[in-house]
Amino acid sequence: MLQNLHIKNVVLIDEIDISFEEGLNILTGETGAGKSIIIGSLSIGLGGKFNKDLLRDDTKDGLVELLFYVEQPWIIAALEQMDIGIGEEHELLISRRLSPTGRTVNRINDCTVTTAKLQEISAMLMDLHAQHEQQTLLKADKHLEILDRFGGDTISKIKENVKALYLHYTQILSDIEVNSMDEAEKNKRMDFLLYEIQEIESAMLVEGEEESLQKKYKKAVHSKEIISTASEIYEVTGYDSRQSAAEQIGHAVSKLSRLAELDFDLNELYSVLQNVDGMLNDFNRGLKGYMEEMTFDEQEFADMEARLDVIHNLQSKYGDTIEDIMHSCESFKDEYQKLVSYEEMMQAFYSDLNETGKKLETACKTLHNQRVAFANKLCDQISEALIELNFEAVKFDMQFETLDHFTSNGTDRAYFMISTNVGEKIRPLYDVASGGELSRVMLAIKSCLANEDDIPTLLFDEIDVGISGRTAQSVAKKLSVIAKKHQVLCITHLPQIAAMADVHYLIEKRVLNDKTITSISQLDYDASVNEIARLLGGATITDNTIAAANEMKGLSKEAN
């Protein structure tokens, strides 16, 4: 359940911190006091839009934090699969911080998470019924979503099978479309593939060949420069000139040898110079040998150029590397073999399509049958709930139609039907329901789903739109019943619902230091009675309205 809501620097809220309790938590307040801001902040915490226009002070961060106590094993298991730990205290802290630059950081306990992951986790913790949600009942495609949600794992598993078969079915259709061709087109393609295969294979490519050729070609292109410069180096270091390094060092070795005979201390230097002389001799022999081997005839050079042209031409057509070209060749061979056995391939496609189509049809029928069974159960429960919500002669059903094509969601189109008066023909819900009726229908649906979903916290915003009197009392009782199994948060302007509260909160707007702020506070019994009296009597609260509020509060306690 939701234990605490902390909001800072959001719209009219400077900073508030409010704790919620089990049961029915009722929030009331004057029109414009900021009830929508509280709901909006809850929505933000659950992963809704959080943009910098919502910052009260655009130089500071905005913050929304929701602290949940989680005890449901299925939620704990799901969190563990997402690598979200809740510890021994079973607490889950959702935090969303918005900087003045517009950057949002989402955290769950110690983990930074994406908004998508936050929304996925939030959906397990709280079901938020905002003012606009009841309008979704006017969209027929939403009715099937409600039914499938009611069907839980049973429907979900069948839908997964239908979706997998449908994806395979559409892939086969795509393969048939891509591969379909007439005889002339097939023969033309085969001829072209054969040409490509022969062009690659005739080149007899070898992996690593291009790199080796490029190295030799570069050497050949620059051979004149290489020989010329190498000759200059040999002239400096070799033996062809008395001024060369080899001759000079050889002369120095001879002189130092004589000195070493005269002074033993020069032996070490003599040894070093001998090494230098030996290394230079080795270098000169190696350089001379390199120059003697550095010969290229015109034919060898032309052959290298031609071979590189072949490789580069194939690369321009079939891939950047020889490995890519060979891979392309294998692909051409595979395609060619498929075309050789084209009739067998297409026959296999159509056979697979037919077999998959039968499986998909069976799965869709299974899904339909399960949906019909759950629809009967759901409609019976909704009918009972609507009777409790002061629909005295209600008929509620679900109409199924079969699509003429497969979809990933089966072949069903389904929508709710309702009749609210004796003798009135049952008609689609989206055609006949008024605003007040939609509110109660949605509450009835939520109460039925709540029993199946096991979502800990339900939030209702303006569930009482368009109702009053006995109907309002019925809605209050239904909310109280739901609150026995779930934590319920409800924003209302009706005294009948406020009187049913297990915990009552007042949302107020006031001016502090020339700034308008919204605050929220928990009311004790007497303060709750006064607030109910305000809802009953408006601006002027009399002893009679206080007495009526006390009576309403007392009757609500007896009803609980």
Residue 23 DSSP SS3: coil
- Residue 36 is predicted with a pLDDT of 83
The pLDDT-based confidence of 268 (bands split at 50, 70, 90) is: confident
E strand or H helix at 122: helix 115-125
Task: Give pLDDT tens digits for 6-52.
Answer: 999 998 888 999 999 999 999 998 877 788 888 889 999 999 889 88
Distance CA 346, CA 368 (A): 32
Distance CA 489, CA 69 (A): 15
- Residue 24 is predicted with a pLDDT of 94
CB-based contact 197:332 (threshold 8 Å):
yes
User: How crowded is the C-beta side of 18, counted as CA atoms within 13 Å?
Assistant: 26
Place of tokens 């040998």: 289
Count CB-CB contacts under 10 A for residue 339.
16
Q: Which residues contact 138 (CB under 8 A, 6 or more apart)?
A: 429, 430, 433, 438
Give the pLDDT mean for 407-423: 91
Among 229-243, 490-504, 507-521, which range has the highest average pLDDT?
Answer: 490-504
Topology given in CATH for the domain delimited by 1-131+462-560? Rossmann fold (3.40.50)
What ranges do the domains of the chain cover?
1-131+462-560
Query: Whole-model pTM above 0.95?
Result: no
Instruction: Return the minimum-mean-pLDDT range out of 159-163, 379-383, 414-418, 450-454.
Output: 450-454
Q: Which residue has the higher pLDDT, 437 or 375?
A: 375
Residue 559 has pLDDT above 70, yes or no: no
Q: Which residue has the higher pLDDT, 219 or 155?
A: 155
Count CB-CB contacts under 10 A for residue 255.
11
Residue 135 has pLDDT above 70, yes or no: no
User: How crowded is the C-beta side of 371, counted as CA atoms within 13 Å?
Assistant: 29
CB-based contact 114:107 (threshold 8 Å):
no
DSSP state of 69: E
